[in-house]
Amino acid sequence: MKEYFKFKIILWYTILVFSIVVILELLIYYGLRFEMTEEVKEDVNKRVEWIKTYIYNGYKPEEIEKDISKIFVEEGLSEILERTTASNKNYLFCIFGPYKKLKFISPNFINLEDYIDIEKYPEGTVFSVKLKNEKFILKKYTENYSILFGFCLKEIHEIQSELIYIFLISIPFSIILSILCGIFVTNKTLNVIKKIRSTVNKITIKSLGERIPESREKDEIGKLVDTLNVMLERLEKSVKTLQQFSADAAHQLKTPLTIMRNELENILRKEEVNREIALSLEEILKETSKLTDIIKNLLMLSNMESGKIKLSFENINMNSLVEDIFQDAKILAESKKIKMSIINNKNVTISGDKELLKILMWNLIDNSLKYTPENGEISIVLDIENSYNTIIINDTGIGISKEELSKVFDRFYRGEKSIDYYPEGSGLGLSICEWIVKLHNGKIEVKSVENKGTTFKVFLPLISNLTKN
C-alpha cells in the first residue's frame, strides 16, 4: 500500500511537471512563430511604403503612367530593389504594368511567374498566400500600375521545424527528469511522514507523555505534527481521567462488596435460615464473589497501566513455579476428566515478579480448563527458544474463530461461543496476562482452530538476554 501511494505521487508529479514543460514549449513555439510573422509583416509593409514614396517623389504622374517599367529599369530603381532582394533572397518583388502585365520580378523567384495572379490579391493589406509549394507574406499596391512585394517564409518554417524537432527530442529527457524529480520530492516528503509514523508507533498507553518533535517549517507537515501533538495531549488527559476513574471506582466498590460478602456468609452460617432463602442468598453470594473478582482484576489492570504496581523482581525457576500451579490445576482437571501433562525440556531461570508470574500461569491454565470439554487434553511445554524461555499451553477445547482471535486480549471481550460454553467469565483474565508479559519485556502469541483447540505461547527473556537488552 505504501509503495502504491508513493507510485501515485511520483506519477502525478511526473504528469504535472511534464505538462508544464509541454505547455512552456508550446508557448515558446507559438510565441516565436507569432513574433517572427509580425516582424515580416511589418517589414513588408515598410518596404512597400518606401517604394511608393520613392516613385512619387522622383517622378511626375504622367511619367509614371507612360511606362512604369522604364522608371524601374532605366532610372536605376531596379538596381536598388535587386540589391535589396539580393541582400535577402527571401524577398519577392514584382511590377505589373497596364493590363496587369508582369514587367519585373525578383531574379530569385522568376520560376513563380506563372503562379502569381495579381487580380485575385487584396489591395492595401498584408496577406499570406501559397505560391507553388512555398508560403509568402505579400502586400499589393495599385496606382496605374501594380506593385507586389513580399517575403518567403521558407526559412522561418525551417527554423520552426528545427524548434519542433528539438522539443520532440527533449520530451524523453523531460519525462526522465520529471520522474527523477518526483522520486526525490516524494522520498523527501515521505521520509518526514515516516519519521512521524515511527514516533507515533512508539507511543503507547504507558508513554502518552511523549510528543512528536516539532517541524522547523510551518508547512502542511508542520501543521500535521502540531495537530497530532494536540490530539496526543487530549488523549493523555482522557486516558488519565479514565484510569483514575477505574481505580477510584474499584477502590470505592471493593469495601462495600467485601462487607456484603461477609454479611452473606454470616447469614448462611445461621441454622434458622429458611432453605429457599438460603439458596437465593448463596446465588447472591456467588455473584458478589464474581463481582469482587472483577473489581480486583480491574484494580490490578489500572495499577499496571498507570505504573503504580510495585514489581519485586527476583531470580525464579520457572520449572518449579509452573510445576506447583500444574499440581493445583490437575485436581480441577481430574474432576472434569481432562488429561493434563507437563514437559520440561530445559531447566529455566528468569528474572521476574513471582506473584505476577503465578497469576499469568494460573490465568492461562485456568482458561484452558474452562473451555476444554470432558475427556479433553491440556499440555504444558517449557523450553528455550532464541534466548527466551517459552511456555506453551495447548488444549483440545472449543477453539476461537479467526474473527475473534485478534480481540482475545481486549478488556471484557468474550466471544459468543465462549459465553455460551462458560457464561461466568469476566473477559479480563487474558488482558491481565498480556500486561504481565509486557511488564517482563516478553510477548504472548495465540493460535486457534475452532472445535480443535487453542495454543498460547509465552516468551519471557532469560536473565542473560535481559542483561543484554
- pLDDT-above-90 percentage for the chain: 8
Which of 46-60, 67-81, 262-276, 341-355 is predicted most confidently?
341-355
The CATH code for residues 313-468 is: 3.30.565.10
Task: List the one residue out of 242, 213, 248 whose CA is nearest residue 229.
Answer: 213
pLDDT at 1: 47
User: Taking residues 18-38, what's their average pLDDT?
Assistant: 87
Confidence of residue 80 (pLDDT cuts 50, 70, 90): low
CA distance 7 to 15: 12
For residue 442, how many C-alpha atoms fall within 13 Å in the half-sphere facing its CB? 28
CATH 3.30.450 domain position(s) in the chain? 2-160
pLDDT at 123: 84
pLDDT at 468: 44
Task: List the one residue out of 25, 19, 6 whose CA is nearest residue 182.
Answer: 6
Cell triple for residue 39?
516582424
Cell triple for residue 327?
499440581
**CATH number of the domain at 2-160, out of 3.40.50, 3.30.450, 3.30.390, 3.30.720?**
3.30.450
CA distance 193 to 186: 10
Average pLDDT, the chain: 79
CATH 3.30.565.10 domain position(s) in the chain? 313-468
List pLDDT tens digits, range 97-136.
Answer: 767 777 777 777 878 888 888 888 888 888 888 888 888 8
Confidence of residue 443 (pLDDT cuts 50, 70, 90): very high
List pLDDT tens digits, range 293-334.
Answer: 666 766 676 766 666 677 788 998 888 999 998 988 888 888
pLDDT at 467: 44
List pLDDT tens digits, range 152-198.
Answer: 888 888 888 888 888 888 888 888 888 888 788 777 777 777 777 77
CATH 1.10.287.130 domain position(s) in the chain? 220-306
Confidence of residue 3 (pLDDT cuts 50, 70, 90): low
Q: Map 216-276 to HEC letters.
A: CCCCHHHHHHHHHHHHHHHHHHHHHHHHHHHHHHHHHHHHHHHHHHHHHHHHHHCCCCCHH
CA distance 363 to 265: 26
pTM, whole model, 2 decimals?
0.49
CA distance 208 to 210: 5
CA distance 78 to 93: 10
- CB-based burial label for 412 (10 Å; 0-12, 13-18, 19+): exposed
**CATH number of the domain at 220-306, out of 3.40.50.1110, 1.10.287.130, 3.40.50.720, 3.30.70.140?**
1.10.287.130
pLDDT at 79: 55
